[in-house]
Amino acid sequence: MKNSSRLRNGFVLLYASQKGNAKAIAEDLAEQCESKGLICELRCCSEIGKTFSLEETRCLVLVGSTTGDGEPPDTARKFWRQLHKKGQPSDVFGHLSYTVLGLGDTNYTNFCNFGKTIDQKLQDLGGKRFYPCGWADDGTGLEIVVEPWIEGLFPALQKHIDKMAETI
């Protein structure tokens, strides 16, 4: 895995986890990417602003869980507040292409609220989704959505990274 926050031919794989499911999925995804020759930088949401910046990130894959009644996990609270800060330019993430894999449980009212809200906020702030978001349900089995979502992600990522490389 690459340790550069300005990935030209790769992406940042960001996770937000409360009980470890999102982290485990992100770590597994990072290993799969490495075996396929995709360059990724694995980061926790709690590192934003400390060791890297989204303003320097061109391509982002976020794996995030929802906790409680639709709240962000503890590792993403600062990130959540930053995205909801008033007065941000509507194109602050105009440089960013992204996708989200949200983890939740349909037994709760606000299923995948963290991931769905992040998706909407990134769009509102100029981000462009390059691959459809996935909403995995712990109530029926996360793998039902996670596994096919990841399989489809690889070709979409490669195509998007190749396209980014052409614009450098």
Could you state, in order of their start, the residue ranges of all structural domains in the chain?
10-166
| pLDDT over 80 (residue 118) | yes
**73: DSSP letter:** P
pTM above 0.75, yes or no: yes
Q: What is the reported pLDDT for 168?
A: 61
Evaluated on CA atoms 60, 61, 66, 67, the torsion sign reads negative
Of 20-29, 81-90, 136-145, 146-155, minimum mean pLDDT range: 81-90
User: Angle at CA 125, nearest 5°, toward 120 and 127?
Assistant: 75
Q: How far apart are CA 73 and CA 45, in angstroms?
A: 10
CATH architecture of 10-166: 3-Layer(aba) Sandwich (3.40)
Q: How far apart are CA 126 and CA 167, in angstroms?
A: 18
